[in-house]
Structure 1
Amino acid sequence: MNKTFKKSVVMVFSVIMVVVVAMSCGCVGENTGANNANTGIDSSNTNDNTNQNAKNSDMGNNAEYITVVDMAGRTVEVPKTINKVIGLGCSLREIVYLNETDKVIAIEQRESVQSKSDDDKFPCGTELPYLAANPELLDLPVAGKAGTSYNYEAILKMNPDVIFMGNNKDAADDLQNKVDIPVVVVYTATIGPEAQNEKYEKSLRLMGTILGKEERAEEILDKIEEYRNDLQSRVSKADVHPSAYIAGRAYSGAHGITTTDPHWPSFELLGANNVAYNVSEISEGKEVSKEQVLAWNPDYIFVSEASLNEVSADLEKPEFKGLSAVSNDRVYKVLPYCWYSFNKDTAIANAYYVGKVLYPEQFADVDPEEKADEIYLFFDGNGAYESISNRMGGYEKFEL
């Protein structure tokens, strides 16, 4: 069907069309399985993303295109030159990491929210590092609600060259068919164990190829490895390795003390002694029993500031007051890593703060707040720690 005709039909009969989809946006409705087998990922061909060709568009332009295979195994033709981009399904974060904020023309509804009530268990845009560092993005038009609906008419009017979408093949097919704009599925889920790291690396390289930012993608991956090596080198010099637990790890909103992550990336980067390590083989939000937390009895507890209200309520209960970390005043707050999908920059920043707490001698030269802004500057283009900590609390002890 001719593109002009097809778009006209959609615009005429869609004042504001929306569609309910099963898309997951990571920790806001986390479904780790959707990032694995359920997306139809073919690991044998995800590297085949640089075959270039040219085609004549239906509009009569001789625009050059490249053919890519996305993270759902879909073959998609995208313009060789990208001037306008939309990131759906929590994929805006990586567009910012790739230094392409000037090409972003829309955001998602949750990202546009600039304030919220104290009992709201979900994030607002000003709590997200990539938006806190680039507040001008908060005022862009809204293209849809992650995981629920898209504004087809608005997307058609904005006419992006490409749309990135996190982790959902069916939603990508549906959107591409309706707006006749290339939609590329990317991996927006967590890092942690090697299998998840590899998916993230492939996805970031794919986005780099499409946006003409291949060198920047490699720079990001090299920097993550550089931080990992520094963290683990410091920890290797320690004689004592206390046990640690992440409490209130957000997924589908905030949770209490019995929600954790067996491979919380900050612990993984650091090589910390995570008491929940054997609960799962991947990084994901996991609910464990109260009895299990008591049996683990970790030396230190770190609380995601996404879940302060919920964890605070739990720590008022008599059964948790006997925990070693609680009785010895070793409970600390960390910035939310899993907050509107996964903030890789925050994972690294948290790792340095956790290192400072667990291994003060080995991290004596580290100021966690300054380190956080160094990391945010590299990933997001500007510092973000002060802005986020003013809303969330920042790096400090948990008042028991």
Structure 2
Amino acid sequence: MRLSGKSAIFALGLLLSTALPTMAEPIVVKDVTGRDVEVDVPVKHVILGEGRQIYFLAALDKENPFQHVVGWRDDLPKADPESYAAYLAKYPEIAKLPTFGGMKEGTFDIEQAVALKPDVILMNVDAKTATEEAGYIEKLAKVGIPLVYVDFREKPMENTEPSMRVMGTLMGKEKLAEDFIAFRADAIRKVTDVLEKSNPAKPVVFMERAGGYSDDCCMSFGNENFGKMVELAGGTNMAKDIIPGTFGAVNPEQIIASNPDQVIITGGMWEGYVPGGNWIGVGYGADAAEAHRKLENLTKRPAFTGIKAVKDGNIHAIWHQFYNNPYQFVAIQQIAKWLHPDLFKDLDPEATFKELHERFLPLDYKPGYFVSLKGE
């Protein structure tokens, strides 16, 4: 069968569109700081300014989130060794990826970064001051390398959605980014809609950041990050009027005087940072019995003397890295279940996290992210 002239041209165009790779085109994206940045998209070569940025990159590439990564910061193996080991087992080539130090620490090697010829460098917004002081944006611009800021830590409840949209645009995965955002929003509404309808009393919650990581007591959160998650989950964040920013500390006397109803401690497997430390090793596939033992041990500190949460057994631990990735909605669900067990008896944060893995992430789900003394 012979094709007409128009049909032949259409067929040739269709063949070329499927046979040729997608050509990058320059567009302007607005990062979370409000900067307009010109980038050729979809990007093919990316430097991750923090290794844990793989958490959100993975949500946009279930097959191989590392396929466009040409370098990354060296924090993931120490900050989250279980997740790193799981990714390494599935993608052994990541062991050969060039690594960088941090911008804030002054150990980022800009000459190495330029040599890798990235299409874009992703940087967390908390490194903005150090990046500007070192003049890195201008230096990179001279060689045609754009830098884009994202944020899942300083103001995650405000910046997660725009950060995911920026990432979707950069990677040519806009639809997938919107699917993730919708999934996240729906998971949060399963908490906030119930609370709005029921309007329960709000327990006072002390949210301890990385308890047992050091002998000092106690790091916590202001009115953002885990502090904001507590509020969304139907609690009152004890430190919100004490800590003016996202992160800070409270002293033991303030905890005792506040007499919190609930205590939630963030933890991780931090043997690489603090060998043999008192931190609570929750996370991907963690040993729940050992995490329970270490959680109970932390209740014996002077700061917890006589407080209501200890008396009632309302002491819990949660994966620290929820503070630095777009999966915070799982933490919000779990915190709500701890604070209001009757209201949320049918809510299953584990099932939510498992569905996230099945729909979006390249790793199989493994439990171990939460532990509690309540009823145990």
What is the TM-score when the length of structure 2 is the normalising length? 0.69
Within the candidate set 38, 49, 53, 1:88 is matched to: 49
- CA 1:132–1:300 in structure 2 vs 1: closer, same or farther (change >3 Å)? farther
Mapped partners of 2:144, 2:99: distance in 1? 14
* Percent identity between the two aligned chains: 22
Mapped partners of 2:252, 2:166: distance in 1? 42
Mapped partners of 1:313, 1:175: distance in 2? 50
Partner-residue secondary structure (3-state), 2:122: strand
2:259/2:307 contact within 8 Å kept: yes
Partner of 1:365: 346
Partner-residue secondary structure (3-state), 2:148: strand
* Higher alpha-carbon deviation: 136-145 or 306-315: 306-315
1:143/1:154 contact within 8 Å kept: no
CA shift, 1:287, in A, is 0.5
User: Matches of residues 208-227 of structure 1 in structure 2 within 5 Å?
Assistant: 208-227=168-187
- Which letter does structure 2 place at the counterpart of 1:123? A
CA shift, 1:352, in A, is 1.9
* Higher alpha-carbon deviation: 233-242 or 90-99: 233-242
- Which letter does structure 2 place at the counterpart of 1:233? D
- Which letter does structure 2 place at the counterpart of 1:274? N
Partner of 2:235: 272
1:305/1:336 contact within 8 Å kept: yes
- CA 1:231–1:395 in structure 2 vs 1: closer, same or farther (change >3 Å)? same
Q: Structure 2: 5+ residue runs without aligned partners?
A: 1-22, 271-276, 280-294
User: Matches of residues 245-324 of structure 1 in structure 2 within 5 Å?
Assistant: 245-250=205-210, 257-263=217-223, 264=226, 265-280=228-243, 284-306=246-268, 309=278, 315-318=299-302, 320-324=304-308
What is the TM-score when the length of structure 1 is the normalising length? 0.66
CA shift, 1:190, in A, is 2.5
Is 1:78 matched up with 2:54? no
CA shift, 1:363, in A, is 2.0
Partner of 1:42: none
Within the candidate set 141, 145, 152, 2:97 is matched to: 141
CA shift, 1:312, in A, is 6.6
Q: Structure 1: 5+ residue runs without aligned partners?
A: 1-61, 114-121
Mapped partners of 1:267, 1:205: distance in 2? 25
Partner of 1:234: 194
- CA 1:314–1:399 in structure 2 vs 1: closer, same or farther (change >3 Å)? farther
Partner of 1:25: none
Partner of 1:396: 372
CA shift, 1:317, in A, is 3.5
* Higher alpha-carbon deviation: 164-173 or 302-311: 302-311
CA shift, 1:255, in A, is 7.3
1:333/1:394 contact within 8 Å kept: yes
CA shift, 1:73, in A, is 5.0
Is 1:344 matched up with 2:326? yes
Partner-residue secondary structure (3-state), 1:233: helix
- CA 1:286–1:350 in structure 2 vs 1: closer, same or farther (change >3 Å)? same
- Which letter does structure 1 place at the counterpart of 2:44? N
- CA 1:129–1:302 in structure 2 vs 1: closer, same or farther (change >3 Å)? farther
Partner-residue secondary structure (3-state), 1:106: strand
Partner of 1:7: none
Mapped partners of 1:106, 1:281: distance in 2? 35
Mapped partners of 2:81, 2:259: distance in 1? 35
Mapped partners of 1:297, 1:327: distance in 2? 11
